[in-house]
A = this chain, B = another copy of it.
Amino acid sequence: MPEEIDNHTLDELMRALDASDASAVLAAAEEAHYADLASIYENLDDEKRDLLLKTIGPEMATDVIAELPYPLIEEALNHFKPAQLRVLLGNLSDDDRVDVFQVVSEEAQVRFFSLLGPRDKELTRSLLKYEEDTAGGRMTTSIGRITADMTVKQAITVLRRDRDDAETLARIFVVDEQGRLAGKVRLRDLAFSTWDTPVHDIMEPADEFVLASADQEEAARTLSKYDLIVLPVVDEFHHLLGVLTYDDALEILQEESTEDIEKLAAIGGEQSEVSYLNTSVGLHFRRRVSWLIGLAFVSIVTGYVMYRFSHLLEQASVLSLFLPMVVAAGGNSGGQAATMVIRAMALGEINPGNALRIAWKEARTGLFLGLSLGVAIAAFITLILPRLQAHTEAHFDFPHLALAVAAAITLQVLSATVLGALLPLGARAIKLDPAVVSSPSLASTVDISGMLIYFVTAAAILGLR
């Protein structure tokens, strides 16, 4: 298992850091993977971070810093002197370098920018114009580029020259004289063809590509759907600007899943780039408090309905027994429906245009769910409750109570299911993220309707007033 190998090396690294033994730190760090070094770095104190970075030096630190959570990057870079920083920033791949500029303070941006070489300055400036969450903002520009009229030998010569620059050579793209995307070639086809074969003969059409302005999630889903290793990114004139790679797609889709999961639980703000344990209590607090306070005030409306109908509870206190159940069943069933719809939208299976079909499907599902719950509860009330309650309210009209509770829960589940499915579709239709319809906010909403449905149904069927 890789974990065992890693753990051994990483334990040694920790011991070397504890002992402030620079040569042992270097030896252990050289054995470790940069992704592991980045995880370790996150959990070190300031002094050890400094020791680690200074020991491994700017070349090795480049890969580690590229893997760090964004909020730690600026502080990590400040461990280096300008001359070392120049090396480090030059070593970064162009997409990682843009990430750095996007996340550091303005003061650092200016300082770091002055250290770049002229070509990197130009490139960074041009990449910074794309939004962080677009295909252009995530792409890398170092790619293998050849033209269709080259021979395999010429192509290999060009690619060999760029070899260290190219983040991936798994797919090589062919451009025309104007730099427009014309096709793609597999490295294996270059390697296994005779040297005088024209590139044109082994080139395939590049049907899949995205615009630089496309949303990063759309780009990642395209890459995933067509099982691509790299997806070309073009401008509106079809000029090849760069590529998005499969590891970008993995990262993007994970970020988007986390975002959806958090929104569904009414957690606000941006996902913290730092891990859970390294996120401060203050930040945890800020991401949760506003939704909690908002939802609390919505619940006062539910409380008001309960207050207005409290005379019914005084007349038949047995109604309390089923009040939380009817109310909660709405939140639960509505939350299920909303989650199904939100996930199906995220996976690109449905869109607001399908609203009628979805409503019809959820209406039937909700009706069957409500009826099942109703029957189960009615059975409980007529068969089991009279025995439990024998000594106190044996005179009570259990069949009518069963009917009232069953009718209320059926109505509540049916309406909450349909509402739960339609609200996220509505949010998407008006260009909001469907996941803003979080389970808690949906639950708070259907708590109100549930309270009303329960009291009105019970009053009507039991003849209370």
Contact = CB atoms under 8 A, between A and B. Distances in A.
A459 interface: no
Interface stretch (A44-52, A76-84, A117-125, A219-227): A219-227
B188 A169 contact: yes
A212 to B, nearest CB: 12
Contacts of A229: 170, 229, 246
How many copies of this chain does one complex carry? 2
A264 B327 CA distance: 19
A374 to B, nearest CB: 10
Contacts of A253: 250, 253-254, 257
Interface in A253-295: 253-254, 257-258, 260-262, 264-267, 275-277, 281, 284-285, 288-289, 291-293, 295
Contact of A328 (B214, B275, B281, B444): B444
A460 interface: no
Contact of A170 (B170, B300, B340): B170
Contacts of A383: none
Nearest to A39: B225
A85 interface: no
A265 B335 contact: yes
A302 interface: yes
Given A224-B254, A339-B267, A373-B296, A207 B5 contact: yes
Contacts of A443: 328, 331, 443
Interface in A177-217: 187-188, 190-192, 207-211, 214
Given A275-B344, A349-B277, A358-B277, A307 B333 contact: no
A13 to B, nearest CB: 15
Contacts of A226: 33, 35
Contacts of A357: 277
Contact of A300 (B304, B325, B350): B325
Size band of the interface chain A makes with B? 35 or more
Nearest to A187: B187
A239 interface: no
Contacts of A447: 324, 328
Interface string A61-93: 000000000000000000000000000000000
Main secondary structure of the interface of A (DSSP, over half): helix
Interface string A289-324: 101110111011011101100100110011011111
A293 B323 CA distance: 15
A172 to B, nearest CB: 10
A292 B170 contact: no
Contacts of A260: 261
B336 A277 contact: no
Contacts of A291: 332, 336
A358 B284 CA distance: 12
A325 B298 CA distance: 8
Nearest to A303: B321
Interface string A154-188: 00100110010000011000000000000000011
**Which of A208, A292, A296 has the most chain B CB within a 10 Å cutoff?**
A296
A35 B254 CA distance: 22
Contacts of A349: 275-277
A229 B257 CA distance: 21
Interface in A236-261: 246-247, 249-251, 253-254, 257-258, 260-261
Contact of A265 (B344, B350, B439): B439
A19 interface: no
User: Which 9 interchain pairs have the tightest Cβ spacing?
Assistant: A276-B344, A265-B339, A299-B325, A191-B191, A257-B257, A302-B324, A303-B321, A275-B349, A306-B320
29 contacts: A1-B214, A2-B207, A33-B207, A35-B225, A190-B191, A191-B191, A224-B247, A224-B250, A246-B247, A249-B250, A253-B253, A253-B257, A260-B261, A266-B336, A267-B340, A275-B349, A281-B368, A284-B340, A291-B332, A291-B336, A300-B322, A302-B325, A303-B324, A304-B321, A306-B323, A307-B317, A313-B314, A328-B443, A443-B443
